[in-house]
Chain A
Amino acid sequence: MERLRTISDFWTLHNRLRADSDSQKPVVVIPAGTCGQASGAGELIRVAKREMIENELTDRMRLRITGCHGFCEMEPSVLVLPTRAYYPRVKPADMPRILYAAVLGEVVEELLFVDSVSGRRVEKQDDVPFFRKQRRTILERNEQVDPIRIGNFLEAGGYASFAKVLESGDRPNVIEEMKASGLRGRGGAGFPTGLKWEMLAKAKNGTGKYLVCNGDEGDPGAYMDRAVLEGNPHSILEGMLVGAFATGATHGVLYVRNEYPMAVKHLLIAVRQARELGLLGDGILGTSLSFDVRLVKGAGAFVCGEETALMRSVEGYVGEPRQRPPFPVERGIEGKPTIINNVETWANVPVILEQGGREYARIGTEKSRGTKIFSLVGKIKNTGLVEVPMGITIDEVVNGIGGGPLGKGRLKAVQTGGPSGGCIPARLFDLSIDYDGLVAAGSIMGSGGMIAMDERTCMVDLARYFMGFLKDESCGKCFTCRKGTQRMWELLDDITTGKATLAHIDLLEELALVVKDTTMCGLGQTAPNPVLSTLRYFRDEYVEHIVHKRCPAGVCKDLITYSINEKCTGCMLCGKACPALAITGDKKVRHAIDHTKCIKCDACRSVCKLDAVEVR
């Protein structure tokens, strides 16, 4: 495509692309984000392409390869537009049938999604329980856009919000719209984005201001940002361009962790395309606006998601936080005023400008506006990325969208906000999800991780796991974070191995409060959350571990014993599964476990069909 020299050039191209797009033609959408490709979307694409060429279907339909749509558990899936027929877990052999049905405007009945409650097949994606209760403003765009084709993004209305604000030339108005939208930072801390932008716009030593997109998503089990980076990289660039226009920033940095190779690739392609089209660089669209971005790959340190550490990392030093003040907006990268926003925050910017700030603010609660993407994982039926309006209850997300507990267990708690978040027990599931509500309950919004846990999860072991993660990921610069996380882990380890006394709980609590109070950066300040929230809601489990040397969930290996009860029919399955040869017994005779040999690997319990293996 030719370089665009003026804003009217842009509109000409924009209108031409939109006119060219034939909405009557069926589109077969194959999501091929990292999750899709891991489950075999690549093969589906290959089959689909071959079929289309061999049978000359290329004129009658379109194939679109996109990023993840959210329902990662059902990948590889296929979505057909405009009928919105949704086929989960598609096998390559079934692909041709879907293509022919799409051309004819029909659906392949037996490949549709089955609702586990009603047992009926659901035709449209939007009627699938997982999707029905969501409000998808960001993730929806992943369906419309092929991430490596800028034309596709323009066709879907991309960069139009930016062109409009550029045309209006009204900088303060953009910031006003952002403030009116009530958007708060999606990275976790929840600072009002409009206010942040205003501070940067007003910052002194005006030249060379920086905008940073924080894509260093490190929480275990969370991948919201990855889906956006892979699926719609141009929306980030558009958000940053609007930000650059409003704040007068000239440099942009995309900080993405190197563990997301596809996100890095798609972003690099997007940046190159935008540059070739004249949407990045000097004198964008013939105006005086100059803005260019570069991509910096994070080398795998969790702490680099913290803004001051991220800035050090961008400058080429070891990623270590520094004490604020001065805040990045006063002195950031290379000493220049800098603002750092999360991927999801940037992706929200075009949406806000398209709808208008006030319209956007109608979604959500009074202090938390808009929608938020959560990565819903754990012991529930439907896992994946869900985008819900703020203020929805945990119950609606976990039991409604998530489909309730997996298997026979009951849900015990939900962990929100990643390793530095907290656990919310089942009795508080009617809590509304917003920034302040979660903080009041002892957790945090974080970047949006949400892990559901059932009765087979030991809360002490969980706190120990997260503390182990934080202990390894603490940069070690400040003493209370380095030693505090290590000591908390030691105390938790003592409790899970039955070496603790009740004094351990008091010391743990005392230490957790001091660490929360005295550490330098967000990592350390939130690190005690797993301990404090489990102590607040599940103290009896701690006491049980210490006083009775018992793990109620049957997880902590040093405190449990396996035995076989009278339900055993002597089928010998467990004996075959046991790697330590600890199970003895003949056919049709009740088996027994030799406790001296048992390594408590849980293999016997998981193969037993009769619930004959007990954990105590």
Chain B
Amino acid sequence: MVGIKLNGLPASFDEGTTLLEAAKFYGIPIPTLCTMEGLSPYGACRLCVVEIGKGPKARLVTSCTYPVQEGLEVRTSSARVVRARKLILELYLASCPQSKTVQDLAAAHNVRQQRFRQEHETCIMCGLCVRMCKEQMMSGAIGFRGRGEKRSVGTPFDVKSDVCRTCGACMYVCPACQLRCTFSDPSKAICGGCANLSPPCLTKASFDDMMCFMEPCVACEIKKD
């Protein structure tokens, strides 16, 4: 067992427990977009940052990847953490305003303004779909391409992958695109939140070129008219 101080309270955990799991065990909420049970930690969304250490050596680390260490002091909502988290959410709002998950998180953290140039991106590059495909579906059909702002999720050269079984798991785990799949009005939704095993947008002829897990989804564009 490893003893740490969690928000000032002594607590002990098994070796290898991450700070996120530790906090969750004690019911301390930490927002995250790229973590899911059963998938390897990735540390990409940066929302789960917590402050560790003391004085000038204090720093922010992602709680989803940082393992508990003997005597570690962890603060999950210090002023520094809250300030960082709010600005990160503001950045998310500036890029993916149409995601319900992002909207809810921003509201819950009292983010009241968005001061950057507004963008309308659909993907937040959390990598859940990529890891889901590889680690749980044992397929590895999709991956990241490009670098920096040109980074995108898809197959090599946009050719439909031979190993893709159109299971839809990638869509199921996506934290950002529900609105595209389910739409705000349920009667107009093209898929029931991926609850069914084969999403209609993949099997129905009218949605043939709409592989929304590989391409920027055009569903919203179609539904507009």
Q: Which residues of B are found within 8 Å of A483, using beta-carbon distances?
A: 91, 94-95
Cα–Cα distance between A203 and B67 once the two chains are bound (Å)? 19
A292 to chain B, nearest CB (A): 32
Query: Which 7 residue pairs spanning A and B have beta carbons closest together?
Result: A476-B151, A323-B43, A323-B65, A474-B148, A514-B87, A480-B46, A476-B148
Q: Is B157 among interface residues, defined by CB-CB distance under 8 A?
A: no
Tally of chain A residues near chain B (CB < 8 A): 33
Q: Which of B1-47 contact A (CB under 8 A)?
A: 41, 43-46
Q: Which of B91, B146, B147 contacts A484 (CB 8 A)?
A: B91
Q: Is A511 among interface residues, defined by CB-CB distance under 8 A?
A: yes
State whether A479 touches B45 (Cβ < 8 A). Answer: yes
State whether B83 touches A514 (Cβ < 8 A). Answer: yes
State whether A487 touches B144 (Cβ < 8 A). Answer: no
Residue of A nearest to B49 (CB): A518
Q: Which residues of B are found within 8 Å of A478, using beta-carbon distances?
A: 43-46
Q: Is B204 among interface residues, defined by CB-CB distance under 8 A?
A: no
Q: Is A301 among interface residues, defined by CB-CB distance under 8 A?
A: yes
Q: Which residues of A are found within 8 Å of B54, using beta-carbon distances?
A: none
Given A478-B44, A482-B148, A483-B91, list of 18 further CB < 8 A pairs? A323-B66, A472-B147, A472-B149, A474-B148, A476-B147, A477-B144, A478-B43, A478-B45, A479-B88, A487-B91, A487-B94, A487-B117, A490-B117, A507-B116, A511-B87, A514-B88, A518-B60, A520-B62
Q: Which of B83, B88, B91, B147 contacts A475 (CB 8 A)?
A: B147
State whether B84 touches A476 (Cβ < 8 A). Answer: no
How many pairs, one residue from A and one from B, have CB atoms within 8 Å of each other in the complex? 95
State whether A487 touches B43 (Cβ < 8 A). Answer: no
Q: Which residues of B are found within 8 Å of A301, using beta-carbon distances?
A: 147
Q: When each residue 471-505 of chain A gets 1 if its CB lies under 8 Å from chain B and 0 otherwise, what string results? A: 11111111110111111001000000000000100
State whether A479 touches B144 (Cβ < 8 A). Answer: no
Cα–Cα distance between A472 and B151 once the two chains are bound (Å)? 10
Q: Is B80 among interface residues, defined by CB-CB distance under 8 A?
A: yes
Q: Is B57 among interface residues, defined by CB-CB distance under 8 A?
A: no
Q: When each residue 101-117 of chain B gets 1 if its CB lies under 8 Å from chain A and 0 otherwise, what string results? A: 00000000000000111
25 interchain pairs (CB within 8 A)?
Answer: A301-B147, A322-B43, A323-B62, A325-B67, A471-B148, A472-B147, A474-B148, A475-B148, A476-B150, A478-B43, A479-B92, A479-B125, A480-B46, A480-B91, A482-B125, A483-B91, A484-B91, A487-B91, A487-B94, A490-B117, A503-B115, A507-B115, A510-B87, A518-B46, A519-B46
Give chain A's interface secondary structure class: helix
Residue of B nearest to A322 (CB): B43
A562 to chain B, nearest CB (A): 30
Binding site for A on B (CB under 8 A): 41, 43-46, 49, 59-62, 65-67, 80, 83-84, 87-88, 91-92, 94-95, 115-117, 124-125, 127, 144, 146-151
Q: Is A544 among interface residues, defined by CB-CB distance under 8 A?
A: no
Residue of B65, B91, B151 ringed by the most chain A CB atoms within 10 A: B91
Cα–Cα distance between A476 and B84 once the two chains are bound (Å)? 19
State whether A476 touches B149 (Cβ < 8 A). Answer: yes
Q: Which residues of A are found within 8 Å of B43, using beta-carbon distances?
A: 322-323, 478, 520
State whether A482 touches B149 (Cβ < 8 A). Answer: yes
B24 to chain A, nearest CB (A): 18
Q: Which of B46, B49, B65, B149 contacts A471 (CB 8 A)?
A: B149
Cα–Cα distance between A377 and B115 once the two chains are bound (Å)? 38
Q: Which residues of B are found within 8 Å of A484, using beta-carbon distances?
A: 91
Q: Which of A513-534 contact B (CB under 8 A)?
A: 514, 517-520
Q: Which of A240-264 contact B (CB under 8 A)?
A: none
Residue of B nearest to A470 (CB): B148
Q: When each residue 302-327 of chain A gets 1 if its CB lies under 8 Å from chain B and 0 otherwise, what string results? A: 01000000000000001010110100
Q: Which of A322, A472, A485, A518 contacts B84 (CB 8 A)?
A: A518
Q: Which residues of B are found within 8 Å of A518, using beta-carbon distances?
A: 46, 49, 60, 84, 88
Q: Which residues of A are found within 8 Å of B150, using beta-carbon distances?
A: 476
- Given the known inter-chain contacts A517-B60, A517-B80, please indicate yes or no for A479 contacting B124, CB distance below 8 A: yes
A278 to chain B, nearest CB (A): 42
Q: Which of B46, B66, B87 contacts A325 (CB 8 A)?
A: B66
- Given the known inter-chain contacts A479-B46, A480-B88, A511-B87, please indicate yes or no for A474 contacting B62, CB distance below 8 A: no
Q: Which of A271-303 contact B (CB under 8 A)?
A: 301, 303
B208 to chain A, nearest CB (A): 30
Residue of A475, A485, A517 ringed by the most chain B CB atoms within 10 A: A517
Cα–Cα distance between A78 and B147 once the two chains are bound (Å)? 44
Q: Which residues of A are found within 8 Å of B65, using beta-carbon distances?
A: 323
Q: Which residues of B are found within 8 Å of A480, using beta-carbon distances?
A: 46, 88, 91
Q: Which of A574-597 contact B (CB under 8 A)?
A: none
Residue of B nearest to A506 (CB): B115
A149 to chain B, nearest CB (A): 40
Q: Which residues of B are found within 8 Å of A485, using beta-carbon distances?
A: 148
State whether B147 touches A474 (Cβ < 8 A). Answer: yes
Cα–Cα distance between A478 and B102 once the two chains are bound (Å)? 16
Cα–Cα distance between A517 and B45 once the two chains are bound (Å)? 14
Q: Which residues of B are found within 8 Å of A318, using beta-carbon distances?
A: 144
A566 to chain B, nearest CB (A): 44
Residue of B nearest to A486 (CB): B149
B34 to chain A, nearest CB (A): 8
State whether A472 touches B148 (Cβ < 8 A). Answer: yes
A390 to chain B, nearest CB (A): 23
Q: Which of B44, B61, B80, B83 contacts A479 (CB 8 A)?
A: B44
Q: Which residues of B are found within 8 Å of A517, using beta-carbon distances?
A: 49, 59-60, 80, 84
Residue of B92, B95, B148, B149 ringed by the most chain A CB atoms within 10 A: B148
Residue of B nearest to A503 (CB): B115
Residue of B144, B146, B147 ringed by the most chain A CB atoms within 10 A: B147
Q: Which residues of B are found within 8 Å of A473, using beta-carbon distances?
A: 147-148
Q: Which residues of B are found within 8 Å of A323, using beta-carbon distances?
A: 41, 43, 61-62, 65-66
Residue of B nearest to A302 (CB): B147
A506 to chain B, nearest CB (A): 9
B96 to chain A, nearest CB (A): 10
Cα–Cα distance between A503 and B116 once the two chains are bound (Å)? 11
Q: Which residues of A are found within 8 Å of B146, using beta-carbon distances?
A: 476
State whether B84 touches A514 (Cβ < 8 A). Answer: yes
Q: Which of A6-62 contact B (CB under 8 A)?
A: none
Q: Which residues of B are found within 8 Å of A510, using beta-carbon distances?
A: 87
Cα–Cα distance between A471 and B61 once the two chains are bound (Å)? 22
Residue of A nearest to B151 (CB): A476
Q: Which residues of A are found within 8 Å of B80, using beta-carbon distances?
A: 517
Residue of B nearest to A477 (CB): B44
Q: When each residue 360-378 of chain A gets 1 if its CB lies under 8 Å from chain B and 0 otherwise, what string results? A: 0000000000000000000
Q: Which residues of B are found within 8 Å of A475, using beta-carbon distances?
A: 147-148, 151
Cα–Cα distance between A476 and B127 once the two chains are bound (Å)? 11
Q: When each residue 99-120 of chain A gets 1 if its CB lies under 8 Å from chain B and 0 otherwise, what string results? A: 0000000000000000000000
Residue of A472, A476, A479, A517 ringed by the most chain B CB atoms within 10 A: A479
Cα–Cα distance between A278 and B217 once the two chains are bound (Å)? 59
Q: Which residues of B are found within 8 Å of A471, using beta-carbon distances?
A: 148-149
